[in-house]
Structure 1
């Protein structure tokens, strides 16, 4: 026999004789694999009785019944072969074992119980494995290493910490990983104890623990331990220890293994962080509270030492950081990249010096910050201060940011719902009060007309109905259009004024325009806003209905204005004029200027009432995109 480089011994003289009992051809993959090598001579027979007694090994078939084949009972054949050829090695090759309601493990056990040397269930294409397995059964391949060499190979190759100690805690041998953990090689570590490798208090605890294991002969299984490594990073290990025995059965020491489970524990932190974020953020009421909760949660997560919400202003759309006391502002340092991440709705990774940012994680080796967009709400920023972002921190930031975005979505929906409820209450008040009054007038006038059909009664009822119609139209405007805008676009303000002029039937308004610009607006809502201002000017115009009121539309530095030469608005009432139901005339509904303000708010504009040069009313709109 000779040994090859892998430690196997094979014959170098005559080929190995293998008899294959194949009654229906299903042993063909084994036969083909054996015939493909030079040092095996294969003979194929149909039954056990035909096997010659000088074979080095025999292979039997065990297979279930199929549509084209009868069942082959390899175990029965095995009993027959063992009786006829005692001492000849035999293997049973199983085909589709699991289809016969038997696991491969049960099959292997039954082959051994029936006196077989090996059960084989590998696929036919595993030719190298088939050949090597049969050579092993035949006794022509065996591992040459001694027990000591095998142990040494295990300790050099195994990727986790393994160690063997004697009864007083000295290291007898360790895996290479264990030695590297302590900055030794395996040989130098032998004979040392935990007292030379660890702090005294920890060494004492380990010694007592191992003495207890040897005294009770009870193993310690999967004990999770936490420590901080030399670089200041938290680490976790899972340790198992058991008593070690000599050949006489006496306890001679400890054998154990330690596996680093830091990544698993970090994943546990992820799960806990997600749970805490979901639970606490759900209870947060508004944006400010969500920002505070976000900062407090991050304080408890080591991988997220510094986070900041940068939220878009609801009116202007400008990003504004949610500041945390005592924390450096991520936005202050990376404002440009926050703006870009929000504008493009894509995550950015900032270079360590802050000079540039990329969208591809793999394109940057040491990102100083990650900026994760929060939909329309803004940006979630995370940085580790002096250290750079690693992949785990970024993954955790993504999970956390998703929870924050969901909380902001919920807060926004609740805010809109609350506002809708307020408007609903306002509408209820209008319907119950403002419409009820003219309805009562109309009803009483008609009743009077039944008894005394004077034109005055019907005229009074007609005026009340006209009043109801006016109220109804403006209520519908409030309900359907007043506070929402559709898609905005570039609108020439002059054209909007012309459209409005055509829609205002009252000829008492003389519209004057200065040089007007193009603005960003919802055209139909802008026309609606101007209509209400023009009507307001007419309603509060000259007392003499033959006189016309002059309405001027002009530009401001950051918006536009609409003014008239009427009676104006008293300074004490300039804020009140925008309240629902407020009116300064008997024929007014009190909803026109309320509609004006709601349309302006929906565009993100600000509106204020002041006085024109002629003493009339002037309404200025600012925050307008030109």
Structure 2
């Protein structure tokens, strides 16, 4: 069989706007291109003609391909025609209108694609000339579709027999395509399900309407639960009578399983709402993950209140995940963002695609700690990460709730303490004032009024310190670097300077709430004056007088602790008996008739609010030495 002659194409191009088409055709094998300016110049040897249709521009007039087509049809009605629309618009509506007009005109092909795709231009011209042939017949094309399509496709007759199916459909039942032909759902599925499907397909044919997006569940031949998203439509003969159905089914088993697992995480997370404390929350989290296949191993590490370090809170797990990735737990917490760890130990915090098969994902849970997940032998995929994010968010919410509840409990305890103080400590001076006021009515002696004044002063002092506790004792604002020397000077100015001498020794800078630090120092200096200069205590607890004028001055020394992580305030007074040193920080404890018992309690609460520790021991001079430790310095 001889080779066909080259395709002779004539392009009618009056102004050069067909140049891209000409260039594309000249680059093809077996195509000979001729250009002319008018249809009158089209040679008799042309196998196909390309006409230009273009709107007017600033420099070029409009070109009407349809007028040219009329002239060409009169002269050469046998020549196939392709019309190239140049800059007619790229919107689908514009292209559709142009194509419809081309078809109505009798031309063979409308071309609106970009001319920088030469292979498309050549194939469209070949199509117009009748030179393009499909490499498969229609039956072959159908077979190709059914063999290659990745979802189930099937055709049934009016009684439910398979007429043809895709290879995927046949493989679902462990058949070849030709083996499935003629069978029905009754041979392939449980009887009840087959009955339902038959009735459904009969309804579709009777109604003449398709059924779309129906999710069906079934158990496959291996006993596994499966889900498919099915669409079915009636098919008709030439007379319009229904003769069966066509359908498709897409396996959505993975999506349904993921949906069920997400629901399981949400439902299981309800247990976190009932968890009482941090440890229980961690243990419940591990228990939840054990029931979810995509989360076989998780471990929560939370910040230890004493050390500030991360600690695993689920001892039953043995700390295996935390022990393996402890350093990455710390880094994820410090960065405040999810950290992926690969099997080789590299990490990334960029987009998910930047991580190559991570072995673990470490997700911060607010300022509480880190939620870690690993699948053991496998890698953490995107779905596992999605589940982990959901569970981690629920863990964070549970920890926030537990913290709020603990804070509420502490506030309730403080309210009870205040109620006790108001009902007891304030009642005593009030009773005294009331009693002497009654005496003064009958016998207005000066000493009666002095007692009333003393009682009122006592009440004012109690009220001031109660307000301090209520408003400031536990609250610490923003911390900044504070010069300790300046804070000591400010505190000393609020204490009776005649009875106090303050020495400082190489003081540095500490991270603190400036006003709260000054308040802490004020209470320590005032404590030294009230107890050291008045001679109200000795190491043995016996009173000692310090002069006829009510007491000598006391000297207080403020310096840094040897490790540099704190400071001390030491006086040269009588000191505090070792047996009393733990009690002095209790609310209301005092060994002085004039004391309220709240000064050192305020010191303790301010220190703890900063995360510091405070203790009392004996100074070098035999007095009291208060040491404030765990203080961040600069």
Same fold (TM over 0.5): yes
Q: CA deviation at 1:158?
A: 1.5
User: Which residue in 2 is equivalent to 1:393?
Assistant: 384
Which of residues 131, 141, 146 is equivalent to 1:155?
Answer: 146
Deviations 1:129-176 (A, max 9, x none): 101110111011111422211111111221221122344434333222
2:152 and 2:250 in contact (8 A); partners too: yes
Deviations 1:20-71 (A, max 9, x none): 2222211111111112234222222223333345422111112222222222
> How far apart, in 1, do the equivalents of 2:317 and 2:510 lie?
33
User: Which residue in 2 is equivalent to 1:201?
Assistant: 192
User: Which residue in 1 is equivalent to 2:57?
Assistant: 66
User: Which residue in 2 is equivalent to 1:256?
Assistant: 247
> How far apart, in 2, do the equivalents of 1:405 and 1:624 lie?
28
Pairs within 5 Å for 1:468-547: 483-484=475-476, 522=512, 529=520, 532-541=523-532, 542-543=535-536, 544=545, 545-546=550-551
More deviation in 592-601 or 503-512? Answer: 503-512
- TM-aligned CA distance change 1:46 to 1:606, over 3 Å: same
User: What is the aligned residue count?
Assistant: 583
Pairs within 5 Å for 1:52-131: 52-98=43-89, 103-131=94-122
* Matched residue SS, 1:103: helix
2:301 and 2:313 in contact (8 A); partners too: yes
1:496 and 1:527 in contact (8 A); partners too: no
- TM-aligned CA distance change 1:138 to 1:364, over 3 Å: closer
> How far apart, in 1, do the equivalents of 2:170 and 2:243 lie?
22
Q: Note if 1:44 corresponds to 2:38.
A: no
User: Which residue in 2 is equivalent to 1:594?
Assistant: 601
User: What CA RMSD, in Å, does the superposition of the two structures yield over aligned residues?
Assistant: 6.0
1:315 and 1:605 in contact (8 A); partners too: no
> How far apart, in 1, do the equivalents of 2:13 and 2:283 lie?
77
Q: CA deviation at 1:86?
A: 2.4
1:555 and 1:561 in contact (8 A); partners too: no
* Matched residue SS, 2:529: helix
Alignment gaps of 5+ in structure 1: 3-11, 442-453
> How far apart, in 1, do the equivalents of 2:459 and 2:138 lie?
106
- TM-aligned CA distance change 1:583 to 1:83, over 3 Å: farther
> How far apart, in 1, do the equivalents of 2:116 and 2:174 lie?
46
Pairs within 5 Å for 1:229-378: 235-247=226-238, 249-262=240-253, 265=256, 303-304=294-295, 309-319=300-310, 329=317, 331=319, 334-335=322-323, 337=325, 340-345=328-333, 347=338, 359=347, 367=359, 370-378=361-369
* Matched residue SS, 2:89: helix
* Matched residue SS, 1:87: coil
- TM-aligned CA distance change 1:67 to 1:206, over 3 Å: same
- TM-aligned CA distance change 1:374 to 1:39, over 3 Å: same
Q: CA deviation at 1:182?
A: 3.2
Q: Note if 1:604 corresponds to 2:611.
A: yes
Deviations 1:61-101 (A, max 9, x none): 12222222222232343344334432321111112222799
1:371 and 1:382 in contact (8 A); partners too: yes
2:566 and 2:628 in contact (8 A); partners too: yes
More deviation in 259-268 or 535-544? Answer: 259-268
> How far apart, in 2, do the equivalents of 1:232 and 1:171 lie?
23
Which of residues 16, 20, 27 is equivalent to 2:7?
Answer: 16
- TM-aligned CA distance change 1:20 to 1:388, over 3 Å: closer
Q: What TM-score do the two structures reach when normalised by structure 1?
A: 0.69
- TM-aligned CA distance change 1:88 to 1:251, over 3 Å: same
- TM-aligned CA distance change 1:498 to 1:307, over 3 Å: same
Deviations 1:265-289 (A, max 9, x none): 5776799799999999999999799
> How far apart, in 2, do the equivalents of 1:23 and 1:566 lie?
115
- TM-aligned CA distance change 1:41 to 1:282, over 3 Å: farther
User: Which residue in 1 is equivalent to 2:436?
Assistant: none
Q: CA deviation at 1:258?
A: 1.1
* Matched residue SS, 1:61: strand
Q: CA deviation at 1:394?
A: 1.2
> How far apart, in 1, do the equivalents of 2:110 and 2:528 lie?
101
Q: CA deviation at 1:393?
A: 1.0
1:549 and 1:566 in contact (8 A); partners too: no
1:33 and 1:131 in contact (8 A); partners too: yes
1:160 and 1:258 in contact (8 A); partners too: yes
User: Which residue in 1 is equivalent to 2:441?
Assistant: none
Deviations 1:496-554 (A, max 9, x none): 999999988868789999xxxx9997597778646633532431231425467798999
More deviation in 249-258 or 84-93? Answer: 249-258
> How far apart, in 2, do the equivalents of 1:233 and 1:110 lie?
55
* Matched residue SS, 2:131: coil
Alignment gaps of 5+ in structure 2: 434-445, 537-544
1:319 and 1:339 in contact (8 A); partners too: no
1:166 and 1:252 in contact (8 A); partners too: yes
Deviations 1:336-365 (A, max 9, x none): 53564144436466899xxx9663688776
